[in-house]
A and B are shown apart, each in its own frame.
Chain A
């Protein structure tokens, strides 16, 4: 039986998703046909238990269980699903919004913790970087050659006639100040605090 939500549409997951800035106005989540076309092409569905069609259904049904579903973290953000969706929905974007909501609730912070380094790099240089915590893993996979590339990068870039890409001086200050006004800097701290506590 479908229980009627006594609170009505206020704090409805579906409406939150539709109104999020990551969504686009014509996004057809309410019109989803549950046809499964998204799932049939989805790399995450192919290689894990994730099912974007079902995820959309749960959001549409305002089923909060979806927030605890570990499979949604398997999405590649490849946008394949939405590109052919006959209802002009985008499971990819719906998923992005869900993950934002989960993280902002302070849950699942372990998933973001290791990526914080990207944010700090941005604050330091105005350019993101591959999160340092993963570097050892990359070297294990890519081998010593990769370390050498990193060591010699400046020389290689010089040989190629390329300038330095890091921001400096006023430009860097501007970026920092934007990120502080936008709340990004405190967002990083908050993610950090949540995980460490």
Chain B
């Protein structure tokens, strides 16, 4: 099992967390602070380009060159353990490092771009970073702290059934790197069970995409929605809450669930939270001031009510 760092972490900002679910970032920081994880958020960090890359808009070299700039920031501040809130950022940066370390031509081209941009000091040498030892997803940090976190849980979650959606770009782009078997991802399930919830560890389409499909959501709405429906319908009646680890998936399933409900003419009775939000809430964070549930499409108040009504520990 790979070693997960608890310090020198660059908490990598995500474009979709920024604008759709900012509570994911504040919750993560809340947990990191409580757990004594040493991290930094860099105001100069640019976004990973992942959405653009998968809209077919960004070319590999531009994406790579921008990533190298971010790597430079990480190295400059001594925070080389880049830890992402989003699965796309995670895979994009792994891809970048693998390409740079193994392909001399690509490395040369990227360094030339930086030179041309007057940023020669940012150039990348083979082996400067390692895809395995420098790129992490926050769930991996949570997972490595799960015993410690479980001691801080203030809410009784035993009454709710939690299913998980493991982001494709965490499990399937580099399957060999995920910390639970990629063919049977369990990171989120293990985390929710350490919070004391009932875990729905398998359902049909558990490993299937959320349906966002990058450009599909916009350009091919019906196709995208059919894939989303596969997942939501498989969960109907199976779970109270679906856990996320990627803002794009969360957006797809949370925001489109009401759309689908309208088409179906019935409620699906499923809510959505990012694992960081759930854990922060369970540790006692304020739903609006920390977890930011006000930005969700499917209201969470009912679920929180249910949890609160159970007698909390302490």
* A183 interface hit (Cβ, 8 Å): yes
Given A25-B102, A128-B15, do A182 and B59 touch, yes or no (CB 8 Å)?
yes
Query: Residues 13-26 of chain B: 1 if any A CB is under 8 Å from the residue's CB, otherwise 0?
Result: 10100110011011
A and B contact pairs by CB, cutoff 8 A, 27 listed = A22-B60, A24-B98, A41-B208, A43-B227, A74-B216, A74-B223, A76-B224, A77-B54, A79-B169, A80-B172, A80-B208, A83-B175, A96-B54, A100-B56, A119-B58, A128-B49, A128-B51, A131-B55, A141-B221, A141-B256, A156-B292, A160-B289, A161-B26, A171-B46, A174-B69, A177-B119, A179-B62
Partner of B230, one of A24, A46, A83: A46
- Complex Cα distance A99/B98, Å? 22
Decide if A44 touches B172 in the complex (CB within 8 Å): no
Smallest CB–CB gap between B134 and chain A, Å? 18
- Complex Cα distance A168/B106, Å? 29
Interface residues on B, range: 35 or more
- Complex Cα distance A118/B16, Å? 12
- Complex Cα distance A163/B52, Å? 24
Set of chain A residues within 8 Å of B60, measured between Cβ atoms: 20-22
Compute the total of residue contacts between A and B using a CB distance below 8 Å. Answer: 207
Decide if B172 touches A184 in the complex (CB within 8 Å): no
Set of chain A residues within 8 Å of B55, measured between Cβ atoms: 112, 115, 118, 131
- Complex Cα distance A171/B73, Å? 10
Pairs of residues from A and B, 6 with the lowest C-beta to C-beta distance, nearest first: A76-B213, A78-B209, A83-B172, A79-B172, A181-B116, A171-B44
* A13 interface hit (Cβ, 8 Å): no
Interface residues on A, range: 35 or more
Set of chain A residues within 8 Å of B102, measured between Cβ atoms: 25
Closest to B47 in A: A127
